[in-house]
Each structure stands twice: as C-alpha cells, then as structure tokens.
Amino acid sequence: MSFSITLTVNEVARTVTLDDPRVTLLDLLRERLDLTGTKKGCDRGQCGACTVLVDGRRINSCLALAISHDGAQIRTIEGLAKGDELHPVQAAFIAHDGFQCGFCTPGQIMSAVGLIEEAQAGADPERVREGMSGNLCRCAAYAGITRAVLDAQERMAGAGRKDAA
C-alpha cells in the first residue's frame, strides 16, 4: 500500500509518495527531502533536537507520523534565513554563544522561534528557561541560549518584525 501526501515545507509544496506508513515527519524531512538541518537525537521525544514548526507550532517531528500530517505547513531551520541574511534568532545564537558542538542548535533555534511566536514568556528569563525546557543541550550552553532568546525577542519586537517568525 502506498500513500501520497503533500506538505508545504518552507513555503514550497512537496508531494511525497510513502510506501510505508511508519515514516516519521523527521525521517521524511531528512531522508526524502534532504533537509538534514533537523537533527535526530533521541528519536523518542525527549531531547528536542528534531523540533520543527508545524502549522506555526513547535513540535517534536520524531513523534509525528508523516502520513497524519498530510496538508500541513512545515517550517525547518533551512527556512529561516533570507539568502545570506540570518533570522534574528540565528544571529542572536551566534552573538551570545548559544551553542558549542551545535548538534542541538537547529532544534533550539526552531523552539525559540516557536516560543517567541507563542508570546507567553515575555522578558522573564525564568519563563524563557521553562519555555525552552524541551530542548536539551549536552554542552550546557543554556546561559547563552537564554540570553540569545531574550535578545532576539527584543530585537524582533523592536523591529516590528513579529511576522519574521
């Protein structure tokens, strides 16, 4: 049995034929669409490395079956920068040393973009830390990550660029 699904990934419509219903959204992005920026860490919903935005919301793509997301709008790390111009969250992670090895970084950044979009944390560092608790960093760059998220959020609000998320 094969299934054809259509996803809009980083604003491009992609139709994929699946010959197996077990494919996760994470594996579809990496193996079928060559979008390997989204990382496979634990593959069990515990580390957050696979975080992407689905219909504007951050989720763990490792626990999402691709077949059940037919028609969804997906945004991945590859869809953030505009050419050579980094997204404000990407720029802030560099400015604040929000990573060391970098493996968790795409998930951290997508989670941060989602968090800023959700607008629940505000400028409270404790709420930002709690709001980023679904993303583990084994290098423990957490202090830089928190500063990066707060800084990016402020810049995006200041620039009136909420829609950039």
- Site for other proteins (CB under 8 A): which residue of 31, 85, 97, 130? 130
CB of 108 to other proteins, least distance (A): 12
| 64 vs 141 by CB, closer to other proteins | 64
- DSSP output for 53-79: EETTEEEEGGGSBGGGGTT-EEE-GGG
Distance CA 151, CA 120 (A): 16
- Site for other proteins (CB under 8 A): which residue of 37, 98, 106, 114? 114
Alpha helices in the chain (DSSP H): 25-27, 88-95, 105-118, 125-131, 142-158
Residues in the chain: 165
CB of 46 to other proteins, least distance (A): 8
Beta-strand pair 73-75/3-9 = parallel
Q: Is 134 in the site for other proteins (CB under 8 A)?
A: yes
CB 75, CB 33: distance < 8 Å: no
Distance CA 12, CA 79 (A): 10
Taking CB under 8 A as the binding criterion, the range among 30-38, 79-87, 123-131, 144-152 that sits at the site for other proteins is 123-131
Taking CB under 8 A as the binding criterion, the range among 32-40, 77-85, 130-138, 142-150 that sits at the site for other proteins is 130-138
Footprint of other proteins on this chain (CB under 8 A)?
1, 3, 20-22, 24, 43-45, 48, 51, 57-60, 63-65, 67-68, 111, 114-115, 118, 120, 124, 126-127, 130-135
